[in-house]
């Protein structure tokens, strides 16, 4: 399992999410990535993903995102799933998050991202 590089992507995602660095955040996704987030629309592509994450409040951050469960589909494709705790100031926002990852040019990128509230 290629977890060191998947682990690095995971850590970097948390870092850029919390820093609100939108260009760096979008770069972690493939050009044609798909995202189902907290809105009903399907978000497609880096620019749309950058806009989506740009719409979150300035206090929204990852409070806890343990290393996800990883299933290697092939050497270049992996699926992940985890419970993630976001927060908006002091208000907790528990979510389920899944990613479909692809390895291109030696780098793992997110091709599909789904997040939904835990209820």
Instruction: Identify the pLDDT of residue 3.
Output: 55
Q: pTM value?
A: 0.93
Q: Is the pLDDT of residue 4 over 80?
A: no
Domains of the chain: 3-117 (3.10.450.50)
Q: How far apart are CA 90 and CA 118, in angstroms?
A: 17
By percentage, how much of the chain surpasses pLDDT 90?
83
pLDDT (average), residues 46-56: 95
Q: pLDDT tens digit string along 102-112?
A: 998 889 999 99
Tell me if 33 sits within 8 A of 109, measured CB to CB.
Answer: yes
Backbone angles phi, psi at 20, to 5 degrees: 60, 35
Instruction: Identify the pLDDT of residue 119.
Output: 73
* Range 55-93 burial, b when 16+ CB lie within 10 A, else e: eeeeebbbeebeebebeeeeeeebebebebebeeeeeeb
């Amino acid at each position: 399992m290629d977890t060191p590089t998947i682990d690095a992507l995971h850590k970097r995602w948390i870092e850029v999410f919390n820093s609100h660095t939108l260009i760096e955040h979008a770069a972690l996704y493939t050009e044609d990535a798909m995202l189902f987030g907290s809105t009903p629309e399907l978000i497609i592509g880096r620019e749309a993903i950058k806009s989506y994450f740009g719409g979150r409040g300035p206090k929204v951050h990852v409070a806890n995102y343990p290393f996800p469960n990883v299933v290697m589909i092939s050497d270049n494709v992996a699926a992940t799933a985890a419970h993630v705790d976001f927060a908006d100031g002091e208000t907790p926002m528990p979510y389920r998050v899944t990613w479909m990852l692809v390895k291109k040019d030696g780098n793992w990128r997110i091709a599909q991202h789904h997040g939904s509230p835990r209820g």
